[in-house]
């Protein structure tokens, strides 16, 4: 008597075609397209690398504009080198003018010139823009020149559909120190006054549950909560969350739903974070398939 085929575990895929074999359903339809404008992480845990991994995991086609190259590993950022504004502009125009985008995510922009360049480019894009206002790395290394913070406030945030600061970035942008969940709403209001359509204040640095607040003005307040995992390997969390939200928006999800699905994906990635090197390892972008 033949035995029934095993049922795949939830979240896992059955094996695909063998090497060199075409997919059984024929050519794929064009997936939603998402562009990340960010720095490269040589260790593969954050930045452009994390963005593209998250986009692939969530079923969209990721494209990239590299703004800076970092020498980075599990111990920290040993150095970074900005690309010329001309190179950033050329990458952006090359992708947007030919392929098109259905969402854009920004990360490390490094300098006043690059913040200004990217802000001007985004002002002409008819697609949602998720701004992750990267200021420092997971290890505390500066990834944005101090003099560029004002330019982020004045030029980048006003073109954002959503800004996704952590609590350190909230302080950098508003001067406010958030010490509990009660302070997150006031911080969100202060950030909204800087011009984005929505703000997601991430409370991951507080004690207790991992709580985030999405705020879009009176009557548009949404809280997202998840268990906190005892896992120090969380490199790339912010990049991954912003990219996951952008992926949801590109697929047509309303913003509150896109944040909810991104939060669920990132929570699983944090739970699956693994050790690399001698320091802080990355979240697991492929946790649903392992």
pLDDT in tens, 122-159: 999 999 999 999 876 766 677 788 889 999 999 999 99
pLDDT at 209: 84
**pLDDT tens digits, residue range 156-193?**
999 999 999 999 999 999 999 998 888 999 999 999 99
Q: Average pLDDT, stretch 24-47?
A: 92
Catalytic residues: 202, 234, 236-239
Q: How confident is the model at residue 1 (pLDDT cuts 50, 70, 90)?
A: very low
Mean predicted lDDT score pLDDT of the chain:
90
pLDDT at 290: 87
Query: For residue 9, is pLDDT > 60?
Result: no
Give the lowest-confidence range in 142-146, 197-201, 262-266. 142-146
Instruction: Look at residues 224, 276, 271 and name the one whose alpha carbon lies nearest to residue 287.
Output: 271
pLDDT at 129: 98
CA distance 134 to 141: 11
Q: What is the rounded radius of gyration, in angstroms, for the C-alpha atoms of the chain?
A: 19
Q: Average pLDDT, stretch 83-109?
A: 98
CA distance 51 to 244: 8
CA distance 135 to 152: 10
CA distance 132 to 38: 9
Contact present, 35 and 104 (Cβ < 8 Å)? yes
The single residue listed with the structure tokens 């690059």 is 114
Q: Average pLDDT, stretch 19-35?
A: 79
pLDDT at 13: 44
Q: How far is CA 230 from CA 47, 109, 274, 284, in A?
A: 23, 31, 12, 15
State the pTM of this model. 0.90
Give the tokens for residue 178: 């958030």
Instruction: Look at residues 229, 225, 172, 220 and name the one whose alpha carbon lies nearest to residue 203.
Output: 225
Task: State what percent of residues in the chain have pLDDT above 70.
Answer: 90
Which residues does 135 contact at the CB level (< 8 Å), separation at least 6?
142, 143, 144, 149, 168, 169, 172
pLDDT at 10: 40
CA distance 59 to 251: 9
């Amino acid at each position: 008597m033949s035995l029934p085929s095993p049922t795949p575990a939830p979240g896992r895929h059955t094996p695909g075609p063998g090497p060199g074999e075409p997919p059984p359903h024929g050519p794929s339809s064009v997936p939603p397209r998402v562009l990340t404008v960010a720095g490269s992480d040589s260790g593969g845990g954050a930045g452009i690398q994390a963005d593209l991994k998250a986009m692939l995991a969530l079923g969209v086609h990721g494209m990239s504009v590299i703004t800076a190259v970092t020498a980075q590993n599990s111990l920290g950022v040993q150095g970074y080198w900005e690309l010329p504004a001309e190179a950033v502009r050329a990458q952006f125009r090359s992708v947007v003018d030919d392929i098109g985008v259905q969402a854009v995510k920004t990360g490390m922009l490094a300098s006043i010139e690059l913040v200004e360049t990217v802000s001007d480019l985004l002002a002409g894009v008819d697609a949602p823009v998720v701004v992750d206002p990267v200021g420092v790395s997971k290890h505390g290394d500066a990834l944005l020149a101090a003099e560029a913070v004002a330019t982020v406030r004045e030029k980048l945030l006003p073109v954002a559909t959503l800004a996704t600061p952590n609590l350190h970035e909230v302080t950098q942008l508003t001067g406010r120190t958030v010490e509990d969940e009660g302070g997150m709403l006031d911080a969100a209001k202060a950030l909204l006054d800087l011009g984005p359509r929505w703000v997601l204040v991430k409370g991951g640095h507080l004690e207790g549950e991992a709580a985030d607040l999405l705020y879009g003005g009176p009557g548009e307040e949404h809280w997202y909560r998840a268990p906190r995992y005892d896992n120090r390997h969380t490199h790339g969390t912010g990049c991954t969350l912003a990219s996951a939200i952008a992926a949801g928006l590109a697929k047509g999800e309303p913003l509150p739903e896109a944040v909810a699905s991104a939060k669920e994906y990132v929570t699983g990635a944090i739970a699956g974070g693994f050790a690399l090197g001698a320091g802080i390892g990355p979240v697991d972008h492929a946790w649903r398939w392992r």
